[in-house]
């Protein structure tokens, strides 16, 4: 095991200790640090604060150092504690990799699984799918991180990221799980006041709701014509980095919006929104699930990727 090659401080012990004991202690210490204290770690470990505190003291006694300065409200690592935590994280990841390799051919997914996604996709589709996946694999603890600041590759330690378009990092593995047509939509109340655009060029006379990313408004809106692609530079009084806000504005009759078909399918079916320019198809968007390469890929990641591919893996251009 790599544990023997990583000596944190001089080892002082009065009893025979196994490698499994050491791993258990490292897992305990990692849980205390990442959960922010003994009480929260005790909950996560299904133990009592007194038992966790006792095991921490035993670890400190064995190592001969204080690992943290703790009070009723604070838990601050000492220099030795920070060193142990950093080395422990690497050691435990190696242990988990070994376990994953052994069980990679099985169907057991366990441990932490961190998933990143755009906010609207996460709220409207992915949250429900991850709940279903968690029920299928009760050994998992899933964290969903949502952002519209331009999710790139693997932010905040994510194991899996869903994003529109291929990642810029060619070293990542990207699997396309769905394609959605982009639709021009507006509420009946807006169309009563402003009329229907007959051509893509007519959008220049309408209040268009635009998506904002990285300090700039995205555009243009791209339509497929017989002669090729037509780029329409739209204008409007409202823009947001949150796709859900654009949809809400459209529902409220504030303007014309460009939406992914899967985001507005229910609104179209219920008549809350009306599709415009249906004879002028737009450039679609492709949804990818992105993860780091591995040999083998840990079961928790492999099973989630397969699950999302299966659930998302149908073309939505028929909406």
Other CB atoms within a 10 A radius of the CB of residue 151 amount to 24
- Residue 283: band (very low, low, confident or very high) from pLDDT cuts 50, 70, 90: confident
pLDDT tens track for 200-230: 999 999 999 998 876 777 779 999 888 889 9
Separation of alpha carbons 317 and 319, rounded Å: 5
Q: List, in order, residues 6 or more apart from 41 with CB less than 8 Å away.
A: 28, 31, 32, 35, 52
Separation of alpha carbons 38 and 60, rounded Å: 14
Among residues 88, 113, 124, which one has the least CA distance to residue 8? 88
Structure-block tokens of residue 10: 């001089």
**pTM summary value:** 0.58
Please check whether residue 233 is in contact with residue 187, taking contact to mean a CB–CB distance below 8 angstroms. Answer: no
Q: Which residue has the higher pLDDT, 87 or 149?
A: 87
**Helices and strands (H, E) in the chain, number of each type:** 10, 15
What is the third-level CATH fold of 111-180+286-312? D-Maltodextrin-Binding Protein; domain 2 (3.40.190)
Q: Is CATH 3.40.190.10 the right assignment for the domain spanning 182-283?
A: yes
Q: List, in order, residues 6 or more apart from 55 with CB less than 8 Å away.
A: 25, 28
Structure-block tokens of residue 262: 């899967």
Same fold yes or no, 111-180+286-312 and 182-283: yes
| Per-residue pLDDT, 316 | 43
Separation of alpha carbons 309 and 312, rounded Å: 5
- Residue 19: band (very low, low, confident or very high) from pLDDT cuts 50, 70, 90: low
Structure-block tokens of residue 170: 């060619």
Helix, coil or strand: residue 50: helix
Give me the percent of the chain exceeding a pLDDT of 70. 85
Helix, coil or strand: residue 272: coil
4, pLDDT greater than 60: no
Please check whether residue 270 is in contact with residue 241, taking contact to mean a CB–CB distance below 8 angstroms. Answer: no
Separation of alpha carbons 274 and 185, rounded Å: 5
pLDDT tens track for 235-272: 999 999 888 899 999 999 999 999 999 889 999 999 99
Please check whether residue 86 is in contact with residue 116, taking contact to mean a CB–CB distance below 8 angstroms. Answer: no
In the chain, domain spans: 2-103, 111-180+286-312, 182-283
CATH classification code of 2-103? 1.10.10.10
């Amino acid at each position: 095991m790599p544990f023997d090659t990583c000596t944190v401080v001089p080892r002082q012990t009065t009893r025979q200790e196994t490698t499994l004991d050491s791993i258990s202690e490292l897992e305990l210490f990692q849980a205390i640090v990442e959960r922010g204290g003994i009480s929260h770690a005790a909950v996560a470990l299904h133990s009592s604060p007194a038992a966790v505190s006792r095991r921490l003291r035993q670890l400190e006694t064995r190592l001969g150092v204080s690992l943290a300065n703790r009070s009723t409200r604070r838990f601050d690592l000492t220099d030795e504690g920070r060193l142990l935590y950093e080395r422990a994280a690497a050691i435990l990841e190696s242990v988990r990799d070994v376990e994953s390799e052994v069980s990679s051919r099985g169907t057991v997914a366990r441990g932490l699984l961190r998933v990143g996604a755009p906010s609207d996709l996460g709220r409207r589709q992915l949250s429900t799918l991850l709940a279903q996946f968690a029920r299928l694999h009760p050994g998992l603890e899933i964290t969903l991180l949502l952002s519209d600041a331009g999710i790139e590759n693997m932010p905040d330690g994510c194991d899996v990221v869903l994003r529109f378009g291929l990642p810029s990092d060619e070293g990542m593995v990207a699997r396309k799980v769905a394609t959605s047509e982009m639709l021009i939509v507006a509420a009946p109340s807006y169309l009563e006041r402003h009329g229907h655009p007959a051509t893509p060029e007519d959008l220049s006379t309408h209040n268009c709701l635009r998506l904002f990313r990285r300090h700039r408004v995205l555009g243009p809106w791209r339509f497929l014509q017989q002669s090729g692609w037509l780029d329409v530079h739209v204008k409007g009084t409202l823009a947001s980095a949150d796709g859900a806000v654009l949809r809400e504005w459209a529902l409220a009759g504030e303007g014309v919006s460009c939406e992914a078909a899967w985001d507005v399918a229910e609104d179209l079916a219920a008549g809350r929104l009306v599709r415009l320019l249906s004879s002028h198809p737009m450039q679609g968007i492709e949804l990818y699930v992105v993860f780091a390469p591995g040999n083998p890929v840990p079961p928790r990641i492999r099973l989630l990727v397969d699950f999302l591919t299966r659930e998302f893996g149908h073309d939505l251009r028929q909406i």
